[in-house]
């Protein structure tokens, strides 16, 4: 448990460091050349607290790059060439650090201590930087300060020395195990289930680190589809979901989810005109189910990308997180004031993709379409994404909702919505059909709707390409 620190004017302390560990690392490398290969991806000269240790390690790196031996003689010669030997304490100090090594086989342990102390010092430095920003900039630049503070702290934890590369050989067993499991369980999804069978079949669920865009003109059902996916993934599959709602209040979202889950008429629910004891019973059952669901709602209007990222990170750390829903993209704000909506949406879409990768969860974001769809007629295209082509570029999946009955007075497809998957970075594109139940404001799977109706002739793309 972390204690709250006592802060005062006289609270001056020596920064975190471990001089014995620094000496043990340097001494181990002089005793055993292979020790350098074990730690050179863990630490850098800046990781050391003592200035002369930084110089010694840099000289060791120079020798290692030339594949030269790293012992007392070669190191002393290298430091002498650089006119640094006296400043590091001469041969006497080099001999001293060799003699204090407990065991050179533990060099990775010593290096780990050195790096952790460096991270702590970097955090202190970041805190000082943020403190100065707050004092100098004041209230007028609050969003900028928060953004710069987050970047500064994040740069500490995401520095190259804190990121471990993955050897392909080491990653293959996990990939094989996953493929074997999918092969043995034919119906198993690779990603997070949406609750719609045909959609899951085409996408294999929503994949981790993917940015998924649902786009449509107003009143087509963007929010409804996103809420249905969020609700079913949490209620049925016990996933943890956060919904950032920039258009509707939390109570409006709750009413919609209650109606969808209970199958009680949405208008009757909102007005309290429940017609029977059966509806009351259905409502109570749904309340119990939703109460157990791990769904978190943030309905802050004009939510900024900085605040959203901070809350998502906190939820991931404290509660676990499987899905992020954003309704909708064009209503989000950024820390900078852009001259055009295009530049603003570009920053937002890239930030959402970055967040999906950072937290390793799918991000489901809603987007408006331009009015060109209405004037042109027909089904939406990728070029109709409003305000920015960067949405198409950043997204891994782009889905459009198209309802023929919304544009025609008479239609053979009343309440039938086509979900057009126009971009699928790692799979086929195509379409599925869902039924829109206006009474409960929810989408339902058509009993006769299946991919067999569309494949292979109507699914664009071929799985062989992937």
Taking a C-beta distance cutoff of 8 angstroms, is the pair 35, 104 a contact? yes
Other CB atoms within 10 Å distance of the CB of residue 131: 11
Cα(57)–Cα(18) distance, integer angstroms: 15
Distance, C-alpha 353 to centroid of its chain = 7
**Given this model, what pLDDT does residue 462 score?**
38
Class of domain 15-165: mainly alpha
Other CB atoms within 10 Å distance of the CB of residue 214: 25
Instruction: Return the closest-CA partner of residue 379 out of 441, 433, 442.
Output: 433
Cis peptide before 354 (omega within 30 of 0): no
> What are the average pLDDT values for consecutive 10-residue runs of the chain, which has 466 residues?
46 85 94 84 89 93 83 92 92 93 92 92 85 71 70 63 56 65 66 88 89 86 90 88 88 84 79 73 80 85 76 83 88 72 80 87 88 70 71 86 74 80 87 87 70 38 36
The sheet that has 363-368: what strands, in order across it?
295-298, 241-245, 323-327, 363-368, 211-216, 397-402, 416-424, 430-437, 442-445
Buried/exposed code over 389-402 (b: 16+ C-beta within 10 A; e: otherwise):
ebbbebbbbbbbbb
Cα(42)–Cα(67) distance, integer angstroms: 19
pTM of the model: 0.62
**Given this model, what pLDDT does residue 267 score?**
78
Query: Tens of pLDDT along 57-74?
Result: 999 988 887 778 899 999
Taking a C-beta distance cutoff of 8 angstroms, is the pair 250, 301 a contact? no
Class of domain 189-465: alpha beta
Cα(345)–Cα(389) distance, integer angstroms: 9
Could you give the C-alpha distances from 13 to 4, 63, 121, 410, in angstroms and in order? 16, 36, 12, 77
Return the residue matching tokens 């350098």: 36
Cα(48)–Cα(310) distance, integer angstroms: 31
**Given this model, what pLDDT does residue 101 score?**
92
Could you give the C-alpha distances from 195 to 198, 307, 449, 466, in angstroms and in order? 9, 29, 14, 25
Query: Tens of pLDDT along 334-383?
Result: 766 777 777 778 878 888 888 898 888 999 999 888 776 666 667 787 87
Instruction: Return the closest-CA partner of residue 89 out of 118, 50, 61, 62.
Output: 50
Nearby residues of 325 by Cβ (< 8 Å), 6 or more positions away: 226, 227, 229, 230, 241, 242, 243, 244, 363, 364, 365
**Given this model, what pLDDT does residue 180 score?**
67
Domain boundaries along the sequence of the chain: 15-165, 189-465
3-state SS, the chain, equals: CCCCCCCCCCCCCCCCCCHHHHHHHHHHHHHCCHHHHHHCCCCCHHHCCCHHHHHHHHHHHHHHHCCCCCCHHHHHHHHHHCCCCHHHCHHHHHHHHHHCCCCHHHHHHHHHHHHHHHHHHHHHHHHHHHHHHHHHHCHHHHHHHHHHHHHHHHHHHCCHHHCCCCCHHHHHHHHHHHHHHHHHCCCCCCCECCCCHHHHHHHCCECCCCEEEEEECCCCCHHHHHHHHHHHHHHCCCCCEEEEECCCCHHHHHHHHHHHHHCCCHHHHHHCCCCCHHHHHHHHHHHHHHHHCCEEEECCCCCEHHHHHHHHHHHHHHCCCCEEEEECHHHCECCCCCCCHHHHHHHHHHHHHHHHHHHCCCEEEEEEECCHHHHHCCCCCHHHECCCCHHHHHCCEEEEEECHHHCCCCCCCCCEEEEEEEEECCCCCEEEEEEEECCCCEEEECCCCCHHHCCCCCCCCCHHHC
Which two tokens mark 66?
Answer: 């030339």
Cα(183)–Cα(195) distance, integer angstroms: 21
């Amino acid at each position: 448990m972390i204690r709250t620190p006592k802060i005062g004017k006289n609270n001056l302390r020596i920064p975190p460091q471990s001089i014995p560990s620094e000496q043990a690392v340097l001494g181990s490398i002089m005793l055993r050349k292979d020790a350098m290969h074990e730690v050179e991806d863990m630490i850098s000269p800046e990781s050391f607290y003592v200035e002369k240790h930084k110089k010694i390690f840099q000289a060791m790196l120079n020798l290692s790059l030339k594949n030269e031996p790293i012992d007392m003689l070669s190191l002393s010669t290298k430091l002498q060439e650089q006119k640094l030997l006296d400043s590091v304490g001469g041969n006497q100090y080099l001999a001293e650090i060799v003699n204090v090594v407990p065991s050179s086989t533990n060099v990775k342990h010593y290096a780990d201590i050195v790096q952790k102390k460096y991270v702590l010092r970097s955090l202190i430095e970041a805190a000082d930087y943020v403190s100065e920003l707050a004092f100098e900039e004041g209230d007028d630049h609050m969003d900028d300060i928060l953004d710069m503070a987050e970047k500064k702290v994040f740069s500490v934890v995401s520095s190259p020395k804190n990121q471990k590369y993955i050897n392909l050989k080491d990653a293959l067993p996990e990939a094989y195990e996953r493929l074997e499991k999918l092969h043995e369980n034919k119906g198993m999804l690779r990603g997070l289930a949406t609750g719609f069978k045909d959609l899951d079949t085409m996408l294999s669920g929503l994949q981790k680190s993917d940015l998924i865009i649902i786009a449509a003109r107003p009143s087509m059902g963007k929010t409804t589809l996103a809420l249905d996916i969020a609700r079913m993934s949490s209620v049925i599959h016990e996933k943890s979901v956060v919904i950032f709602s920039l258009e509707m209040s939390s109570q409006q979202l709750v009413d919609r989810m209650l109606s969808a889950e209970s199958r009680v008429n949405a208008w009757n629910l909102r007005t309290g005109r429940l017609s029977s004891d059966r509806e009351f019973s259905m409502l109570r059952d749904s309340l119990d189910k939703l109460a157990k669901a791990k769904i978190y709602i943030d309905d802050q209007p004009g939510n900024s990308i900085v605040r959203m990222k901070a809350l998502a990170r906190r939820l991931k750390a404290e509660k676990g997180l499987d899905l992020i829903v954003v309704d909708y993209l064009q209503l989000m704000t950024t820390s900078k004031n852009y001259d055009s909506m295009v530049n603003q949406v570009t920053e937002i879409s890239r930030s959402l993709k970055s967040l999906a990768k950072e937290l390793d969860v799918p991000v489901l974001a809603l987007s408006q379409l331009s009015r060109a769809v209405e004037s042109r007629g027909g089904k939406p295209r990728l070029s109709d994404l409003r305000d920015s082509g960067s949405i198409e570029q950043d997204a891994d999946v782009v889905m459009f909702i198209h309802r023929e009955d919304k544009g025609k007075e008479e239609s053979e497809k009343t309440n039938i919505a086509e979900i057009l998957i126009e971009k699928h970075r790692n799979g086929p594109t195509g379409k599925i059909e869902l039924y829109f139940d206006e009474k409960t404001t929810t989408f339902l799977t058509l009993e006769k709707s299946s991919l067999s109706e569309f494949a292979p002739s109507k699914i664009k793309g071929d799985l062989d390409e992937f």
